[in-house]
Amino acid sequence: MKSKTDLFLELAKPDEKGFSRWVGVDEFVGDYKDLQLGNGGSWCRASSNLAKTYILEFDKTRTSGNSIDAIRLQGFNPLKTFNQNIRKDIKDFYKSQKCVMLGVCGKSENTTIEIDHKDGRKDSMRVSELAMQEFEDFQPLCKAANDIKRQICKTCKETNTRWSAKNIKGNPYDFYAGDERYIAQSEGGLGCVGCYQYDPVAKKVRGKSQKKQRTLSVQNFMEMYELHRLKA
């Protein structure tokens, strides 16, 4: 059963920046009848989960009186903290898949599958909102690979220098898009997109001679692991 927050987001269809159209209360019918405001509309109050995530704006000018006639979202609440929870259907989809870096899915501590937020900065409020998460926002990594990626992303955040895939012996490219400079998407950059750690199985297109790259082999993974162990 969908929550009232999920129902409203389904109607409002906010964009990636958290802005939506005006949603009239006359639309709260049929599948959306649970959104009818009734006694104050607890699902859209200042203390609601919706208001903690988005900036809400109300229109009370369409009819006489002081009742709410329409609601829209005016961006993400800047006080919102990132919610790391992952929607159940996404977890169910990935939990039995093999690690995209090592090709394993085991039962030992280092080979168990963890569902990884591909964007290591975890600063997208869209991804923070369960209803707006997409399967492409995540990937299956074994614990060993995810632990190393976490350290790589931490270094990138401290230096704004993205990790070069040429750290893997024999790898012909640094980045499949962009360069070593981390520039947030909100500032016109690629953010994490183009980094091997973000998506090791994406098509890497760098000119006519660039071949599709395969997932990281165990041997190359150990080289990457050793490199970061020595730098630690």
Tell me how far apart the alpha carbons of residues 70 and 48 are, in angstroms, rounded to a whole number. Answer: 17
- pLDDT for 47-84, tens place per residue? 788 998 899 999 999 998 888 999 999 999 888 778 88
81 lies in a domain? no
User: Residue 69: which domain range?
Assistant: 4-76
Q: What is the percentage of the chain residues whose pLDDT exceeds 70?
A: 87
Q: How confident is the model at residue 148 (pLDDT cuts 50, 70, 90)?
A: very high
Determine contact, residues 117/84, Cβ cutoff 8 Å: yes
Of the three residues 55, 76, 97, the one that is the final residue of a domain is 76
82 lies in a domain? no
Are residues 62 and 98 both part of a single domain? no
128 lies in a domain? yes
Q: Give the pLDDT of residue 129.
A: 87
Determine contact, residues 7/34, Cβ cutoff 8 Å: yes
Helical spans, DSSP H, in 48-161? 49-53, 88-94, 125-128, 143-159
Amino acid present at 173: Y
Are residues 55 and 95 both part of a single domain? no
Of the three residues 46, 76, 106, the one that is the final residue of a domain is 76
- pLDDT for 201-221, tens place per residue? 885 444 334 444 444 456 666
Tell me how far apart the alpha carbons of residues 157 and 175 are, in angstroms, rounded to a whole number. Answer: 17
Q: Give the pLDDT of residue 210.
A: 46
As for how many domains the chain has, the answer is: 2
- pLDDT for 171-198, tens place per residue? 888 999 999 999 988 788 999 999 999 9
Are residues 56 and 97 both part of a single domain? no
Are residues 112 and 167 both part of a single domain? yes
Are residues 34 and 99 both part of a single domain? no
Are residues 47 and 135 both part of a single domain? no
Determine contact, residues 224/167, Cβ cutoff 8 Å: yes
127 lies in a domain? yes
Burial of 159 (0-12, 13-18, 19+ CB in 10 A): exposed
**Sheet architecture: strand order including 54-59:** 23-24, 70-76, 54-59
Tell me which residue has tokens 């006694």.
39
More confident residue, 204 or 150: 150
Q: What DSSP state is assigned to residue 161?
A: B
Are residues 145 and 184 both part of a single domain? yes
Are residues 9 and 116 both part of a single domain? no
83 lies in a domain? no
Residue 39 has pLDDT above 60, yes or no: no
Tell me how far apart the alpha carbons of residues 8 and 2 are, in angstroms, rounded to a whole number. Answer: 10
Are residues 72 and 35 both part of a single domain? yes
Q: What DSSP state is assigned to residue 181?
A: B
Of the three residues 76, 107, 123, the one that is the final residue of a domain is 76
Tell me which residue has tokens 């009848």.
33
Tell me which residue has tokens 């947030």.
184
Are residues 33 and 146 both part of a single domain? no
Enter the pTM of the model: 0.59
